[in-house]
Each structure stands twice: as C-alpha cells, then as structure tokens.
Amino acid sequence: MFFRLAEQHRQFVKDLVMNLQALAIVLENRGYLASCYTCGNQMNSASFMVSLSDNHLIRFLFSDYGISHFENEVRCKNNGPLFLIICKNEAV
C-alpha cells in the first residue's frame, strides 16, 4: 500500500512540475516575464517565477517536500517595498 501511495505522490509532483512549466510558457506568450526551471530530468522539483507587472513579482521553489520558499513582492512608486511576504518551510 505504501509503495502505491509513494508512486502516486511522485506522479502528483511530476504533474505539478509539468503544469508549472506549461503555465510559464502561457504567461510568457501573454507578455509576462515568467520562468520555470527544474533540476535534472526527474521532474521532482521546480523554481517558478512570474512578474505580473513592473512592481509585482511572485517566486517560489517547489519540490517533493512541498513549497519550500515563497515570495510575493509589491513595490511602490519609489521602488521601496510596499510589502514582502516570505514563507519558508524547512525540510527536516
């Protein structure tokens, strides 16, 4: 049972990474700055970034442990941060 559950989890992570890659392509085609990088070809982690406007950037790192880093940054007119949200999950 645990082997099947582990395989389902690996497939879920792989599907999510492929969806993030597709989302980055669609966003780029619509004129946004977006990227999605993976390490190797195992598809078990990804780094995703999108700039929604000159003043709004979203970044996160995803792996089979979950989202390990998330940033949502909005800057005001003078390029000072209006707010910055950073969440980090430390895998133990």
DSSP annotation of 83 reads E
Per-residue pLDDT tens digits for 13-61: 899 889 999 999 999 999 999 999 988 788 888 999 998 887 788 888 8
Contacts 24+ apart (CB under 8 A), 44-47: 44/10, 44/13, 44/14, 44/17, 45/17, 46/16, 46/17, 46/20, 46/21
> Cα(92)–Cα(90) distance, rounded to whole angstroms?
6
pTM of the model: 0.73
Domain total for the chain?
1
Range of the domain at 28: 2-88
Q: Work out the pLDDT band at 76, boundaries 50, 70, 90.
A: low
